[in-house]
Amino acid sequence: MNTKITKRMTFCAGHRLYNPQLSDEKNLEIYGPCSHPGGHGHNYILEVTVSGAIDPKTGMIINLRSMKEIISREIIAKVDHKNLNSDVDFMRGIIPTTENFAAEIWKILDRSFGGELLQKIMLRETENNCVEICR
Amino acid sequence: MNTKITKRMTFCAGHRLYNPQLSDEKNLEIYGPCSHPGGHGHNYILEVTVSGAIDPKTGMIINLRSMKEIISREIIAKVDHKNLNSDVDFMRGIIPTTENFAAEIWKILDRSFGGELLQKIMLRETENNCVEICR
Amino acid sequence: MNTKITKRMTFCAGHRLYNPQLSDEKNLEIYGPCSHPGGHGHNYILEVTVSGAIDPKTGMIINLRSMKEIISREIIAKVDHKNLNSDVDFMRGIIPTTENFAAEIWKILDRSFGGELLQKIMLRETENNCVEICR
Amino acid sequence: MNTKITKRMTFCAGHRLYNPQLSDEKNLEIYGPCSHPGGHGHNYILEVTVSGAIDPKTGMIINLRSMKEIISREIIAKVDHKNLNSDVDFMRGIIPTTENFAAEIWKILDRSFGGELLQKIMLRETENNCVEICR
Amino acid sequence: MNTKITKRMTFCAGHRLYNPQLSDEKNLEIYGPCSHPGGHGHNYILEVTVSGAIDPKTGMIINLRSMKEIISREIIAKVDHKNLNSDVDFMRGIIPTTENFAAEIWKILDRSFGGELLQKIMLRETENNCVEICR
Amino acid sequence: MNTKITKRMTFCAGHRLYNPQLSDEKNLEIYGPCSHPGGHGHNYILEVTVSGAIDPKTGMIINLRSMKEIISREIIAKVDHKNLNSDVDFMRGIIPTTENFAAEIWKILDRSFGGELLQKIMLRETENNCVEICR
């Protein structure tokens, strides 16, 4: 029996998909309207899943309020109402595709939760696409 | 008996809430993190409602494909993957709050549908807030 | 103060949009792929709203179980897992657009609830379109 | 043109539907399993809608943060993680049906927003039923 | 190729998170407002997933109606509109956190489905948190 | 670290569950109202998940527009607004249960994506049931 708990949080951010090492034509070919210079943005949904034994004293794997605190401090506070291309330290120099963005979030949360607690993250960019990373 | 049909469409856009006639402090006080210079963005949901008699030949008030065509051409093509502050003609000089944005969409669609066909629009900015305009 | 209560129910049904008084070409022009001879179908959502005074003895406008009973008996039992073109008495000879289908449901429920209890119905055909009828 | 803005908030609460002036049998007949002595509970969704002119200086009818502050202080803080039968002053002696609960919320919010700002509230008890009150 | 089918069911229940072996202060520290004496409640969503070969005669892994019957009889009938602290035999003496509640549901359903049919359960307490158990 | 991206698409189709090698009584026993001769239909949701390394040049596992193109051409164009029993080549002679339907979709998409790119598909028939296939 493998037990996991998931916390869902939301934020909104702006971004532009553009690789400065490629021509504008190549960027348009790869990223389509996402490469538009003015940028656009999304309401992101982030689901963070940890697994572990249930503590018999509390009946919890981890306190959901601790999860919320960690995710808020490490991720939400840094990205909510921000521009992913210019305002977010951990995205500096990284093309903010959902894959790249999720990979950076994973690295930060994996360090923050420690051990092998972090099991999966799901980052949803729109109702029609999302990225999952798991151990 | 009053019959209405609604078409839902989605788009994403970037924006920043900022009144250039006010100080940065005043903007921060009014708009909070929405006034951040780098801007952010949202997945918007636009629901457009028209009312009228059901045409006995077709069983329709209006063809949903016509609705989609009008909304796509008049609104979605102009705002999807765009920055509302800099890229959208009909938002030039207008603070892109959901209220102002919805009001401009209403004016355009009301002209496009003609008569008194347009009954209501609903513009959803996040899962927690939306604006409705009705006749 | 105007108080209304809404009961949501779901069903699935098959249908084909086709007007036998028109040519196949005209049907294709009006209904597009919905006119395909083999038919298709939907998961419908029906929301029924009644308004009235709150009975001080029960704290209810109407018992939700009565609403469920009426809607189940009068509508769901007749349309769920049925073909709207061939299997549903109250749709006989009527093109099963969402508008026409909702109008027939309204007539039946308005008689069943009696008085002016019925306030609104919403019939959703897909996540992107729905029809509302109100008094 | 009539413009309205809606703020959605959520809370959870426990309740039991029971009229102490009626017998247990009569309560069971009216409220079914909702009259069970141990009580149960719900995740409620509250949507609050205000209407008014758009302030040209801010582009807002009302600041969403003010709406959140008022609804949090006047309603959410008093009902979230509480038992509606025993813990909520404004529900004292009132059977906590969705209709009665919504009516009390309306009275409080109507006073708090003042004027005729408050236009509608929607209180959702489950995915299958909700109550709306409007002016 | 590994094929799984999932049945979603809903119920509502009341609960209070409280460990009687700890002080009230400690309970408040661990469970926050969830430890409030009057209790509260939730609309729970339970998704049950079984895996197995597709029977060539029926085209099914298992009949969804059998799944519904088992889940209704073994779980829903025992917890719907009940208080998890006082009314549910299988939760006697167990702190009704989502983790503990899901673990007990897993044990019962695993026995009821038999073999290694049961693959996963997901128990959602609110739109922002859920627990998954898998083999 | 295992990274996956998911594309969600929707379509509607009609079907009837019926095994011609069994009696009508046996079909009714197995499939219930789904065996009704007139057929019915659903709004299906198809989620397709691929996994792989993130290309450092694009920041993508695979371009979402390529995913959309493949899924549209290979699946959606063949099943949307169609009858699964009579109109879809790849379902010829196959009882269109969600399990069988998903299995055929898996085979086609696995060939189309090639390699071991395809990781999972989820086919949702109603809000209460879905089938998943994974490698």
Q: What is the pLDDT of residues C50-91, one digit of tens each?
A: 999 999 999 999 999 999 999 999 999 999 999 999 999 999
Q: Please spell the DSSP secondary structure of A93-122, one letter per residue.
A: TS---HHHHHHHHHHHHHHHH-TT-EEEEE
Distance CA C75, CA C84 (A): 12
Residues in chain A with CB shorter than 8 Å from the CB of E42 are none
- Per residue in E45-64, pLDDT (tens digit) is 999 999 999 999 999 999 99
> Is A41 within 8 Å of B36 when comparing Cβ atoms?
no
Contacts of F72 (CB under 8 A, 6+ apart): F9
Residues in chain E with CB shorter than 8 Å from the CB of F19 are 57-59
Rg (CA), chain D: 17
**Contact of chains A and F by CB distance (3 or more pairs under 8 angstroms):** yes
Neighbours of chain B (3+ CB pairs under 8 A): A, C, D
User: Which pair of structure tokens corresponds to residue A24?
Assistant: 């504008």
DSSP conformational letter for B19: -
* E33 to A68, A71, D65, E38: CA distances (angstroms): 15, 21, 24, 10
Q: Which segments of chain F does DSSP mark as H helices, in order?
A: 24-31, 64-71, 77-79, 98-113
Residues of chain F with pLDDT under 70: none
Q: Confidence band (pLDDT; 50, 70, 90) for E1?
A: confident
Mean pLDDT of D29-41: 97
Whether residue A63 has pLDDT greater than 90? yes
Question: Quick one: pLDDT at residue C86?
Answer: 97
Q: Which of E75, E73, E74, E95 is closest to E15 using CA atoms?
A: E95
Neighbours of chain D (3+ CB pairs under 8 A): B, C, E
Options B81, B99, B116, B132, the catalytic residue: B81
Options A34, A36, A47, A74, the catalytic residue: A34
Distance CA B11, CA B19 (A): 24
Question: Quick one: pLDDT at residue A35?
Answer: 97
Q: Which of B61, B35, B58 is closest to B48 using CA atoms?
A: B61
Q: Which of B116, C73, B32, E14 is closest to D66 using CA atoms?
A: B32
A 10 A CB-CB count for C105 gives 24
Active site residue E116: no
Distance CA A132, CA A130 (A): 7
Closest CA–CA distance from residue F116 to any residue of chain C (Å): 32
Q: Confidence band (pLDDT; 50, 70, 90) for B4?
A: very high
Positions of E strands within chain E: 2-15, 40-51, 82-83, 118-126, 129-134
Question: Quick one: pLDDT at residue B1?
Answer: 81
- Per residue in A91-107, pLDDT (tens digit) is 999 999 999 999 999 99
Whether residue B33 has pLDDT greater than 90? yes
ipTM value: 0.96
Whether residue A1 has pLDDT greater than 90? no
DSSP conformational letter for B33: G
User: Which pair of structure tokens corresponds to residue F6?
Assistant: 């998911």
Beta carbons of D67 and D4 less than 8 angstroms apart: no
Positions of E strands within E17-101: 40-51, 82-83
- Residue A21's domain comprises 3-134
Closest CA–CA distance from residue C84 to any residue of chain F (Å): 8
Question: Quick one: pLDDT at residue D61?
Answer: 97
3-state secondary structure of D75: helix
DSSP conformational letter for C73: I
For residue A4, how many C-alpha atoms fall within 13 Å in the half-sphere facing its CB?
21
Contacts of E73 (CB under 8 A, 6+ apart): none
CATH number of the domain where residue C43 is located? 3.30.479.10
- Per residue in B70-115, pLDDT (tens digit) is 999 999 999 999 999 999 999 999 999 999 999 999 999 999 999 9
Out of A19, A30, A131, closest to residue F5 by CB: A131
Question: Quick one: pLDDT at residue C1?
Answer: 81
Question: Quick one: pLDDT at residue B125?
Answer: 98
Out of F2, F3, F8, closest to residue A127 by CB: F8
Question: Quick one: pLDDT at residue C25?
Answer: 97
- Per residue in C105-127, pLDDT (tens digit) is 999 999 999 999 999 999 999 99
For residue E15, how many C-alpha atoms fall within 13 Å in the half-sphere facing its CB?
26
Distance CA C53, CA A30 (A): 60
Whether residue C49 has pLDDT greater than 90? yes
Strand E40-51, strand C40-51: pairing: unpaired
> pTM score > 0.95 for this model?
yes
Q: Confidence band (pLDDT; 50, 70, 90) for A131?
A: very high
For residue A86, with 0-12 CB atoms within 10 Å meaning exposed, 13-18 middle and 19 or more buried, which class applies? middle
Q: Output the CA torsion sign for C113, C115, C119, C120.
A: positive
Rg (CA), chain A: 17
Residue A114 has φ and ψ, to the nearest 5°, of 75, 175
- Per residue in D61-77, pLDDT (tens digit) is 999 999 999 999 999 99
Q: Which of E58, C40, E6, C88 is closest to F31 using CA atoms?
A: E58
Mean pLDDT, chain C, integer: 97
User: Which pair of structure tokens corresponds to residue A58?
Assistant: 């509390």
Q: Which of F30, F97, F121, F132 is closest to E5 using CA atoms?
A: F132
Distance CA D19, CA D40 (A): 16
Mean pLDDT, chain E, integer: 97
For residue D55, with 0-12 CB atoms within 10 Å meaning exposed, 13-18 middle and 19 or more buried, which class applies? middle
Active site residue E130: no
Q: Which of D37, A59, D71, F74 is closest to E18 using CA atoms?
A: A59
Question: Quick one: pLDDT at residue F1?
Answer: 82
Active site residue C34: yes
Distance CA A131, CA C52 (A): 48
Position of tokens 């008085």?
Answer: C115
Number of domains, chain B: 1
- Percent of the residues in chain F that have a pLDDT greater than 90, as a whole number: 99
Distance CA B71, CA B84 (A): 17
Out of B96, B127, B131, closest to residue D4 by CB: B131
Length of chain C: 135
> Is E36 within 8 Å of D80 when comparing Cβ atoms?
no
Chain B interface mutation, best of D54, D66, D71, highest count of B Cβ atoms under 10 Å? D54
Q: Output the CA torsion sign for C105, C107, C111, C113.
A: positive
Beta carbons of F16 and F85 less than 8 angstroms apart: yes
Task: Please report the number of interchain residue pairs, chain A to chain F, with beta-carbon separation below 8 angstroms.
Answer: 60
Q: Which of A13, A14, A31, A11 is closest to A22 using CA atoms?
A: A31
**Contact of chains A and D by CB distance (3 or more pairs under 8 angstroms):** no
Q: Output the CA torsion sign for E30, E36, E42, E44.
A: positive
